[in-house]
Amino acid sequence: MSDFLPFTRPTIDDETIADVVAVLRSGWITSGPKTAELERALAAYLGGGRQLRVMTSATGGMEMALRAAGVGPGDEVIVPAMSFAASANVVVRVGARPVFIDVELRSRNATPAAFAAALSPRTRALMPVHFSGLAVDMDPLNALAGARGLRILEDAAHAIGTRYRGRLIGSFGDIVSLSFHANKNMTTIEGGALSFADPALALPLDRERFHGISKDAAGNVDVYSAGGKYNLTDVAAAVGLGQLRRLEGFNARRRTLAARYFERLAPRLDPDMLPEPGDDGHSWHMFAVLVPFARLGLSRDEFVARMKARGIGLGVHYPSIPGLTYYRQLGWDPAAFPNAARIGAETVTLPLFPAMADGDVDRVCDALLELMKR
């Protein structure tokens, strides 16, 4: 279908393609000068005197960060019940226990009060998730963590370019994980980054990123831990540098498209079916609506198929984490998190990416509202 509209599509310009070709011809295609340049560029973009490390995925970055922060067996990490499974998986992988909390229905974010209510003597870290690029209320959460001596690992996979009270997410706070997956607001094809201020994290993160290795001044190698392998390539970094140059423009276009969705849908749909608008700092990684499939007499699969037949692709972001088989087997009851459960059952993600025209939004809304007439 030549005019099929996917729910997302990256925008890669000719300058970036030329930069990738130059890297391929340079003979240095794995971690090298372009990777270092991307780290410097991200640090300059975010500001705040942060240290940056890039890696092969935000998921790998979060696991590295938890290990570097000393989170492990016997510890608990508080995680929103509505997020991608990776948010909880990395906690399990370091031997700790994810403790789920519910989210607000429209923002899909967990509140500072919800984090506070879930604290226990075993809590070691908090993991706020900036869902869809809408910032969590971080000032009271940072104050809570500071008062209790807790670490905060922000899952900012959706939030590159998001601003909270005028400050870029990643320019402040404890540890912030950013994603550059192909469907994110900027991409390195696959990849991610950690932004942090604590200099004590630099050495363990560097070792965890590449086999636990450190080198002395003469270049001799020694291994100090059973590290992983998460180093980003220069090819990927070249893509990221081109994307970062255009990020602010990409996000401005996303905000314009989101505003058009609200203009078309707000008069026709119940407010709780729409995401929270947020403010000008919202980077709009996704535009997800809730569809009452039971009232329509359609399953989500049928709804997605009917939209596809109209040339429109939808995503599903996300099932409730406690409702996933693995976490149910660990004893979690999805019904204990009613907002996350409803979002997980009713959510669909509408197309949203910078190359879309205003008319593409109208086309999506026309098809959506036609099906909703049922």
Q: Cα separation of 163 and 59, whole Å?
A: 22
Region for residue 110 given its phi and psi (left: phi exceeds 0; alpha: psi -120 to 50; beta: otherwise): beta
SS3 string, the chain, reads: CCCCECCCCCCCCHHHHHHHHHHHHHCCCCCCHHHHHHHHHHHHHHCCCCEEEEECCHHHHHHHHHHHCCCCCCCEEEEECCCCCHHHHHHHHCCCEEEEECCCCCCCCCCHHHHHHCCCCCEEEECCECHHHCCCCHHHHHHHHHHHCCEEEEEECCCCCCEECCEECCCCCCEEEEECCCCCCCCCCCCEEEEECCHHHHHHHHHHHECCEEECCCCCEEECCCCCECCCCHHHHHHHHHHHHHHHHHHHHHHHHHHHHHHHHCCCCCHHHCCCCCCCCCCCCCEEEECCHHHHCCCHHHHHHHHHHCCECCECCCCCHHHCHHHHHCCCCHHHCHHHHHHHHHEEEECCCCCCCHHHHHHHHHHHHHHHCC
Tokens for 220, please give them. Answer: 């001799």
The closest of 179, 204, 207 to 87, measured between CA atoms, is 179
The overall pTM is greater than 0.95: yes
pLDDT of residue 1: 46
Q: 318 with 347: CB under 8 angstroms?
A: yes
Residue 41: phi and psi, rounded to 5, are -65, -40
Q: What is the pLDDT of residue 366?
A: 98
* 247-372, CATH topology level: Aspartate Aminotransferase, domain 1 (3.90.1150)
Beta bridge partners of 123: 76
Query: What local confidence, expressed as pLDDT, does residue 374 receive?
Result: 64
CA angle (252 as vertex; 249, 255 as ends), nearest 5: 155
The reply to whether 373 belongs to the active site is: no
Q: Give the residue among 186, 232, 239 at the shortest CA–CA distance from 21.
A: 239
Pick the CATH number of 14-240 from 3.30.2390.10, 3.30.360.10, 3.40.640.10, 3.30.2290.10: 3.40.640.10
CB of 288 closer than 8 Å to CB of 84: no
Distance CA 185, CA 179 (A): 9
Residue type, 353: F
Torsion of CA 131, 175, 322, 313, to 10 degrees: 30
- pLDDT per residue, tens digit, the chain (374 aa), is 459 999 999 999 999 999 999 999 999 999 999 999 999 999 999 999 999 999 999 999 999 999 999 999 999 999 999 999 999 999 999 999 999 999 999 999 999 999 999 999 999 999 999 999 999 999 999 999 999 999 999 999 999 999 999 999 999 999 999 999 999 999 999 999 999 999 999 999 999 999 999 999 999 999 999 999 999 999 999 999 999 999 999 999 999 999 999 999 999 999 999 999 999 999 999 999 999 999 999 999 999 999 999 999 999 999 999 999 999 999 999 999 999 999 999 999 999 999 999 999 999 999 999 999 86
Q: Which of 34, 184, 308, 373 is catalytic?
A: 184
Please give the pLDDT value at position 2. 58
Residue 68: exposed, middle, or buried by beta-carbon count in 10 A (0-12, 13-18, 19+)? buried
Question: What distance lies between CA 295 and its chain's CA centroid?
Answer: 31
Q: Can you tell me the distance from the alpha carbon of 104 to that of 363, in angstroms, rounded to the nearest whole number? A: 29
Are 287 and 349 within 8 A, CB to CB?
Answer: yes
Q: Could you state, in order of their start, the residue ranges of all structural domains in the chain?
A: 14-240, 247-372
Identify the burial level of 279 via C-beta atoms within 10 angstroms of its C-beta, where 0-12 means exposed, 13-18 middle and 19 or more buried.
exposed
Same fold flag, 14-240 and 247-372: no
